Chain A
Amino acid sequence: MMLMRESIVMKIHYGTAIGAVFLTVIHILMRMTQDFHESLEYENVIANYEMIGYAIMLELLLILISVHGFNGLRIILLEMKQGPSYEKAVTYGCIASMAILIAYGSRTIIMTSMGMT
């Protein structure tokens, strides 16, 4: 089962990893701009989402981690067992799960940043 050459998939895996690390650091630093507990208060979190730049960054982070995470899961599952139908099921299952998670997370980001809370 091959949707893409495995060497390309691994380049995407490493690229998403580097991008995710960089954006996660920014995401955590946002919590450090004030007291940790204060930064998680409802009003502060809403204010974070309403900053358009930060909302775009969260969307990017969501996509990068989802792609990296579900590709990692696919790699682990393929290390354990092989076979054409199994590999197909794992690959499509991971792609579907990734798409669902991205859609669900995007819903939160878009609705909150547009003030639909």
Chain B
Amino acid sequence: MEKENKAKEGIKGWINPAKYGKFGIERFAWILMRITGLGLLAYFIGHIYETSHILDGKAVWDASLELTQTTEGHIFLALVIGMCVFHTGNGIRLMLGQMGYGLGKPGRPDYPYKPQSLNMKGKACIYATIGLAALAMWYGMAVMFG
């Protein structure tokens, strides 16, 4: 059996700044999708553990809730909101892309070989998603600090 090729760069490939300059905002969205996904999974596991304290009575529940009722806790939750909105928005863009929407028509591959799929519609969606995430974080902060 032929030896399978490995993605040799691994996590180094994620954080290599040269890739961002070369591939632009799409690369940034790619890495942010993975970072927010991992962040949200970590938050979800913590949330399940935190909410299980309800079984230990009011005193334990109040004590665990106090962790998020601080300024740092509110900032952390605002970050979670931002991650959630970006992951959702970018996920919808990717799903639509996989269904063939917004990819443009296939064209002859002429120099400088710009792929039709990485077009302005996609870029605008990524910027809009980042903007929406920032707005949601701001609203979340207003609710939590208000």
Residues of A within 8 A of B (CB): 14, 17, 21, 24, 36-37, 40, 42, 45-46, 49, 62, 65-66, 69-70, 72-73, 76, 79-83, 101, 104-105, 107-108, 111-112, 116-117
Is B4 touching A42 in the complex (CB atoms < 8 A)? no
The chain A residue with its CB closest to the CB of B59 is: A42
- Evaluate whether A69 and B10 lie within 8 angstroms (CB atoms) in the complex, with A42-B62, A104-B52, A117-B54 already known: no
**In the complex, which residues of chain B have a beta carbon less than 8 angstroms from the beta carbon of A21?**
88
| CB of A93, distance to nearest CB on chain B (Å) | 14
Between A and B, 29 residue pairs with Cβ closer than 8 Å are A17-B91, A17-B95, A21-B88, A24-B84, A36-B143, A36-B144, A42-B54, A42-B61, A46-B54, A62-B48, A66-B44, A69-B44, A72-B37, A72-B41, A73-B37, A73-B38, A76-B37, A76-B38, A80-B7, A80-B10, A81-B6, A81-B10, A82-B4, A82-B7, A101-B45, A101-B48, A104-B52, A108-B54, A112-B55
Given contact pairs A40-B65, A62-B48, A81-B10, enumerate 6 new A-B contacts (beta carbons under 8 Å): A14-B95, A46-B54, A49-B54, A65-B44, A72-B41, A83-B4
Instruction: Give the total number of A-B pairs whose CB atoms are below 8 A apart.
Output: 68
Answer whether A73 and B41 are a contact pair too, CB < 8 Å, given A42-B61, A82-B6, A112-B54.
Answer: yes
The interface bits of chain B over 111-124 (1 if a CB of A lies within 8 angstroms of the residue's CB, else 0) are 00000000000000
> Does B40 make an interface contact (CB < 8 A)?
yes
Nearest CB on B from A39, distance (A): 11
Residues of B within 8 A of A69 (CB): 37, 40-41, 44
Main secondary structure of the interface of B (DSSP, over half): helix
Is B17 on the interface with A (CB-CB < 8 A)? Answer: no
Given A24-B84, A104-B52, A116-B55, answer yes or no on A37-B69 (Cβ-Cβ < 8 Å).
Answer: yes
Distance, CA A72 to CA B40, complexed state (A): 11
B100 CB → nearest A CB, Å: 14
Interface size on B (CB < 8 Å)? 31
User: B40: which A residues are within 8 A, CB to CB?
Assistant: 69
Minimal Cβ-Cβ distance residue in A for B94: A14
B51 interfacial by beta-carbon distance below 8 Å:
yes
A81 contacts B7, CB within 8 Å?
A: yes
List, in ascending order, chain B residues with CB within 8 A of A24's CB. 84
Chain B residues with CB below 8 A from A104, complex form: 48-49, 52
